[in-house]
Structure 1
């Protein structure tokens, strides 16, 4: 496939990253700004708590759009036609101590200070709480292979890099007030100022009225917490802008062309867009996405710690499966909890296997295509599917089947034990020859330990179910040792169809097998499980079940 074929297909694609990129291309038809500089994508992070998957998804989704834009203009990542900035708002005031952090009392003593000036509660050698959280975010972004530039708000404020932008805000102080005050409650409006000074006495970020003394010099006047009237510079890290003003200031100062944000910031986007215009800039294009919810349907919060962390997902599933789960339908809410991981893992591999055989228009809608580009795949001039990492290959065992196996083996199962069973099912069952399967076994063991084993309960069979199980045991006693999983599946089917066992449909039969033998309501193809677990082991499982009832 040539680059021109990719460009043509990309410009007709209905996949959401291409739809977003096509809107940006209307803004810059030549694929660059008028001065020839790269198109700038930005993603923001508030380091008031440990980064969670909601933070990561914004970088990933923005990268999807960035790479889609490059495809539209026929550029490769190394051409430098685009930039991605991951911006951390670590000058923001520390408003509340998250309940999931250590050293709560110490943190409480530093409330209202900029996050970059709050000590690290983890005692991990970082200069601040924000620096610790920034490092955690960057660690994962680097692990995934993103290409990005990290910018900390504190660096820009304290170095003076934002000083000219701050002077611009001070010069337009009244115009910004005219935008913001009508949106605020009376009590809030009484103390609102676009700029928040840092108290010289307490180091707190202050929410107080501010008088602009000299915009060009950056001088402001305000009443400090001790009641004294203070006149000081707002430059060089001595002040912080209100969130909506800060958002707009960054857009203008950095020249941001695309930034997406969550539905909870819809009003922020509106007001910040108006402020950006006052400051002489333009609101960037962007997508408003739905928020992630926990298993109870509640919004994920850094302060509550009720969402999965990046590390937790990676204990139970691959980084590719995380990206796969994030990809679809950004405008639809998704629940984010441990229960979604197994299907995400298996769906990722199903789409990965399918990619190489798909026509180009279908490839561009396949999440695996976008994931490959997000971390540097498809870098050559010829961008056929064969260059996608792993395109066309598959896992010899599904994650769901592995989970059923380790569930039967119990919480004490280890990797060597699992590999010994895989010899019944996988050709060349050797970790060195199947490194990705080896990683998947680690994930399955961890998932079983934390989610399955603590709640696993196999029920006793009814009388008719016991009769069907005895029939299955008799069949297994007579099958040849080299019988295939498909032939075993057929044998299981035939038993479920027999009228004397009283199953209304085959689903009832398989549900009974799952509940009685595996302790689950859903499960794998039983032929595959029996082949993997082994004929004699499966018969022993049936024998144990028959001992419980029937």
Structure 2
């Protein structure tokens, strides 16, 4: 695909970001024509990768994909790990807590691995990050802050920091508390004896020698070169230095880092670099509308999500409106799953007829989230003939606990459906059983029908009895249900479907009811109605 494939730029947000990236590259002082665009994501390896890590890398990947499709030029993603950061506190979810307490303040790459599997705590979590990104098929280049510092890749930039040290202090100091302002320096020496990352004032800067002179808490004087990994920078200055040294073109970050982005942008310009273009994404909220916090544990983990839905549904959730705050809790999973399935279906339809449609119609593919989720290649057998919501309703009504029972309903509806030729449906069946058991079954509440609802339900059962052993399509059944509601003057008509869901299924929302009857069975639906009428 190349730029010539587009008569107009697609409206999907990754293409909007790609346009920003194109404009940024045009404005750069440096000659970048022969270099791939560089998109960066950052990772703090004091903790394990989490759902936010997935979201940031996935979204950055989609911008990269859009940029390459739009321009035909190359680009790469740098997954940068801040493993030179000093360990401030011991994470609660790791072993050997007492051992880690003895190493507080040291760079993560110099602290023993509490899991005992890698050379350092930083190396362990870096390996977890790479395994995590590989699991989801992201294309990236991994970078370790420790390696870049120690191998001299930042040396020239660090000498530049030394040259403009006081200018950097002048923009950062006003943002600090008074006690920190008096001693602030962007340069943090690594204590040559204790290995701790020191936050101390600089007594002297020797620009010619490329060193800083400072005292530790005991008053001992040290002269430390800023090169070769003997110092690191305060993180906001470090972020800016990295943009400057590596020529980062694009990086997204959360709303909580808006002020940090502004400050790092100023520092990058002081160094003489061009700050990257940026997308600020909104933060996730829990079921109470509160900001998700790892320390509170009020969010949803990747493992929890994938227990109830396929990974593509999580990608779909992350794709939707990144600039809008969204609840990240279990009840968003079914909707995200069915949105993904619908987008896959739409893409497959366009692919099937794209040679015979107008260019504007063909370009809908590039606005389709599934095109991004699958990196522009529609997988075979990617979709499902049955929605996730329908599977949940079948499991709910039949109180299903075993996959073979659900497959019994599905095969009665379509004898050609099997786990082998419908791998996504097979995965959805297992996920639906887990979701039903944990979230639907404990919360089912059936209400009794009111007088006018009893009359309508009785009529629906009568209409269904007339079908007998005849084969009736889901659309015909839907029309029958619709007609009964209309004849009984439900206003608005959705109140009739609300009655079906609440009285027959024990829930507030439900599926297209004609399809439900076709899957569940006409006789079984009659029995369901009779049971509800008996309760009344």
Deviation track 1:471-514 (CA, whole Å, cap 9, x = no partner) reads 43343333233222222223323333344xx7444322221221
Distance of aligned partners of 1:396 and 1:262 in 2 relative to their CA distance in 1, 3 Å threshold: same
- Contact 2:191–2:198 (Cα < 8 Å) also in 1: yes
- Contact 1:223–1:230 (Cα < 8 Å) also in 2: yes
Alignment of 1:312-327 (within 5 A): 312-327=304-319
Q: TM-score, normalised by structure 1?
A: 0.86
Deviation track 1:57-78 (CA, whole Å, cap 9, x = no partner) reads 2222222222222122224xxx
For 1:98 and 1:479, the matched residues in 2 are separated by 63
Q: Name the structure 2 match of 1:64.
A: 62
Distance of aligned partners of 1:106 and 1:537 in 2 relative to their CA distance in 1, 3 Å threshold: farther
For 1:338 and 1:33, the matched residues in 2 are separated by 48
Alignment of 1:67-106 (within 5 A): 67-75=65-73, 81-99=74-92
Q: 1:494 aligns with which of 480, 483, 488?
A: 483
- Contact 1:424–1:531 (Cα < 8 Å) also in 2: no
Q: Name the structure 2 match of 1:54.
A: 52
For 1:413 and 1:339, the matched residues in 2 are separated by 20
For 1:461 and 1:19, the matched residues in 2 are separated by 50
Alignment of 1:3-22 (within 5 A): 3=2, 5-9=4-8, 12-22=9-19
For 2:150 and 2:4, the matched residues in 1 are separated by 48
Distance of aligned partners of 1:429 and 1:260 in 2 relative to their CA distance in 1, 3 Å threshold: same
Is 1:507 the counterpart of 2:494 in the alignment? yes
Q: TM-score, normalised by structure 2?
A: 0.88
Is 1:417 the counterpart of 2:419 in the alignment? no
Q: Name the structure 2 match of 1:535.
A: 522
Q: 1:369 aligns with which of 359, 368, 371?
A: 371
Q: 1:521 aligns with which of 508, 526, 529?
A: 508
Is 1:142 the counterpart of 2:134 in the alignment? yes
Q: Name the structure 1 match of 2:461.
A: 473
Q: CA deviation at 1:250?
A: 0.7
Query: Could you say what secondary structure the match of 1:84 adopts?
Result: strand
Q: CA deviation at 1:252?
A: 1.6
Distance of aligned partners of 1:546 and 1:109 in 2 relative to their CA distance in 1, 3 Å threshold: farther
Distance of aligned partners of 1:462 and 1:251 in 2 relative to their CA distance in 1, 3 Å threshold: same
Q: Name the structure 2 match of 1:483.
A: 472
Structure 2 residue runs without a partner (length 5+): 351-359
Q: CA deviation at 1:463?
A: 4.8
Distance of aligned partners of 1:213 and 1:191 in 2 relative to their CA distance in 1, 3 Å threshold: closer
Is 1:398 the counterpart of 2:384 in the alignment? no
For 2:119 and 2:528, the matched residues in 1 are separated by 56
- Contact 1:320–1:371 (Cα < 8 Å) also in 2: yes
For 2:468 and 2:100, the matched residues in 1 are separated by 67
RMSD, aligned α-carbons: 2.9
For 2:528 and 2:283, the matched residues in 1 are separated by 44
Q: CA deviation at 1:403?
A: 0.9
Is 1:265 the counterpart of 2:264 in the alignment? no
Query: Could you say what secondary structure the match of 1:424 adopts?
Result: helix
Q: CA deviation at 1:89?
A: 1.2
Q: Name the structure 1 match of 2:436.
A: 448
Is 1:170 the counterpart of 2:154 in the alignment? no
Distance of aligned partners of 1:135 and 1:530 in 2 relative to their CA distance in 1, 3 Å threshold: farther
Q: CA deviation at 1:397?
A: 0.4
Alignment of 1:179-218 (within 5 A): 179-200=171-192, 202-215=194-207, 217-218=209-210
Query: Could you say what secondary structure the match of 1:150 adopts?
Result: strand
Deviation track 1:101-126 (CA, whole Å, cap 9, x = no partner) reads 566555555443323344555x3724
Deviation track 1:28-53 (CA, whole Å, cap 9, x = no partner) reads 45999446222211111222333222
For 1:82 and 1:61, the matched residues in 2 are separated by 15
Distance of aligned partners of 1:129 and 1:302 in 2 relative to their CA distance in 1, 3 Å threshold: farther
